[in-house]
């Protein structure tokens, strides 16, 4: 992948902010760029795709990876503190996404950095005896991953277990490929008094990484919908109806490795219960669950489960990056009924966000099951379609790799990469001015 230098930067008008009768207009990039590779040519060999993904990681400007919270003006700090529930999705982020609110942008990037730490702390080397575990202790994880002044402390490492059983012959030949349980993320609690003051509450973060192990890949391909277990709060399985989710994601969330290893679901429930017992009566408390790719799907499942299990004892928000589809229409309705807030960041060029299956709304329009005037047998088919097809969840912030003048090679790997998502969030201004000239996260040579 080659980056062609820009020849011209031009400011263009976009949504304005009025301050003391003066109109301040953010700048966006209008580029006269001659890419050496056509952006719409997505055909690359498998080796080229892998190399492009590796190069993309190196292109991120490490000096500008993280926002310096001390650089945020007192006015913006005060705004975040007073309106924290709105930034956590109380009003479904109405009026904040187009144009993108600066405080919300900073919050999305901050949670993106927490997700990035899950990748940095994962042991990728299959020859290591510690393969698929966390490389760092709870006390040192943020320091080792570059989040020195986050104000948070990791309280729990989380692991996910695949429910797939491989043959003993495969397990003996490829022990690393048969690894069933692996480090998937962590729970962290904001403990710094200044950060708590800035945020306006004590925040708990749960962060999940994307797919890395062989069995996780196999779980991703188990795309059939399966019923969620019955709930005391919702009658989810009645006459064959109810909330359904992708089989592989549910397997990773609920499977354990015998008595010695709890499921991800149980670990998370136990840790949230402990945190609520410790801090629940002290301050306003929020739970922000964030993840990328597979981790974004697990974040959505976890938010549903926590809200359902604790009924609800705290405000639960999901910030997801590049999430595949998770469940059917009924699952979406239950999420909304719970009050679970989901902000789904999507790259239009990322095919992972378009799988598995298809969305019924794409076929019949608005997805309203009860259409007046239609014969009963047609309405019955529509109801069946809602039951057995996927539905998008939450509020969408849609971005596009082609809007960035720094991405001249667009393919499956780079479009799905977490760093691409953070780069696009940092640059996005509005639908009429999709990339700003003052973006802090740049891709460079």
- Residue 350 is among the residues annotated as catalytic for this protein: yes
- Residue 292 is among the residues annotated as catalytic for this protein: no
SS3 195: helix
**Which entry of 350, 403, 417, 426 is annotated as an active-site residue?**
350
How far lies 5's CA from each of 58, 146, 256, 407, 408, in Å? 18, 29, 51, 11, 10
CA pair distance 2, 11, nearest whole angstrom: 25
- Residue 260 is among the residues annotated as catalytic for this protein: no
Closest-CA residue to 303 (of 161, 201, 206, 398): 206
How far lies 162's CA from each of 131, 247, 248, 324, in Å? 16, 11, 8, 18
Peptide bond before 356: cis, by omega within 30 degrees of 0?
yes
Provide DSSP, 60-76. B-GGGSS--GGGS-HHH
How far lies 208's CA from each of 58, 268, 319, in Å? 22, 12, 11
Angle subtended at Cα 17 by Cα 77 and Cα 19, rounded to the nearest 5 degrees: 75
Q: Which helix (H) or strand (E) holds 186?
A: strand 181-190
Residue for token digits 């005060």?
78
Question: What are 209's two structure tokens?
Answer: 């990484």
Residue for token digits 């998370």?
268
DSSP state of 350: -
Question: What are 241's two structure tokens?
Answer: 């109806």
Residue 273, CB half-sphere, CA atoms under 13 Å: how many? 9
DSSP state of 430: B
Q: Which helix (H) or strand (E) holds 157?
A: strand 152-161
SS3 40: coil
**Which entry of 292, 386, 416, 417 is annotated as an active-site residue?**
416
Residue 433 main-chain phi, psi, to 5 deg: -145, 80
**Which entry of 162, 251, 293, 330 is annotated as an active-site residue?**
293
Is 168 exposed, middle or buried, given 0-12, 13-18 or 19+ CB atoms closer than 10 A?
Answer: exposed
| Torsion, Cα of 426, 430, 432, 436 (10° steps) | -30
DSSP state of 28: B
How far lies 287's CA from each of 171, 189, 218, 378, in Å? 38, 9, 30, 42
Residue for token digits 């320091």?
143
CA pair distance 247, 251, nearest whole angstrom: 6
| Active site residues per annotation | 293, 350, 416
């Amino acid at each position: 992948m080659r980056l062609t230098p820009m020849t011209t930067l031009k400011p263009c008008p976009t949504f304005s902010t009025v301050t003391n009768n003066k109109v301040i207009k953010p700048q966006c990039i209008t580029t006269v760029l001659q890419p050496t590779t056509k952006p719409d040519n997505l055909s690359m060999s498998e080796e080229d795709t892998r190399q492009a993904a590796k190069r993309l990681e190196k292109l991120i400007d490490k000096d500008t990876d993280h926002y310096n919270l001390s650089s945020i003006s007192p006015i913006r700090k005060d705004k975040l503190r007073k309106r924290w529930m709105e930034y956590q999705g109380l009003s479904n982020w109405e009026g904040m996404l187009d144009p993108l609110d600066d405080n919300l942008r900073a919050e999305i990037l901050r949670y993106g950095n927490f997700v990035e730490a899950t990748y940095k702390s994962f042991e990728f080397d299959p020859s290591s005896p510690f393969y698929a575990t966390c490389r760092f202790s709870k006390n040192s994880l943020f320091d080792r991953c570059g989040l020195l002044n986050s104000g948070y402390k990791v309280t729990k490492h989380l692991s996910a277990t695949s429910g797939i059983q491989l043959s003993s012959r495969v397990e003996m030949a490829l022990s690393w490929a048969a690894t069933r349980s692996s480090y998937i993320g962590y729970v962290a609690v904001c403990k710094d008094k200044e950060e708590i003051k800035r945020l306006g509450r004590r925040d708990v973060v749960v962060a999940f990484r994307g797919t890395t192990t062989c069995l996780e890949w196999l779980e991703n391909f188990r795309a059939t919908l399966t019923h969620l277990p019955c709930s005391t709060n919702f009658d989810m399985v009645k006459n064959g109806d109810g909330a359904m989710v992708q089989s592989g994601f549910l397997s990773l969330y609920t499977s354990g490795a015998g008595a010695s290893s709890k499921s991800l679901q149980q670990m998370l429930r136990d840790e949230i219960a402990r945190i609520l017992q410790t801090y629940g009566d002290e301050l306003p408390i929020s739970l922000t669950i964030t993840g990328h790719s597979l981790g974004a799907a697990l974040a959505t499942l976890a938010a549903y489960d926590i809200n359902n299990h604790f009924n609800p004892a705290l405000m639960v928000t999901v910030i997801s990056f590049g999430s595949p589809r998770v469940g059917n229409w009924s699952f979406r309705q239950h999420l909304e009924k719970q009050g679970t807030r989901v902000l789904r960041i999507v790259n239009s060029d990322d095919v992972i966000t378009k799988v598995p299956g298809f969305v019924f709304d794409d076929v019949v329009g608005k997805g309203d099951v009860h259409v007046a005037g239609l014969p009963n047998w047609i309405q019955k088919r529509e109801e069946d379609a809602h039951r057995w097809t996927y539905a998008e969840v939450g509020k969408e912030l849609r971005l596009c790799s082609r809007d960035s003048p720094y991405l001249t090679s667009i393919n499956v790997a780079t479009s799905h990469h977490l760093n691409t998502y953070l780069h696009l969030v940092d640059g996005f201004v509005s639908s009429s001015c999709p990339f700003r000239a003052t973006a802090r996260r740049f891709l460079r040579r």
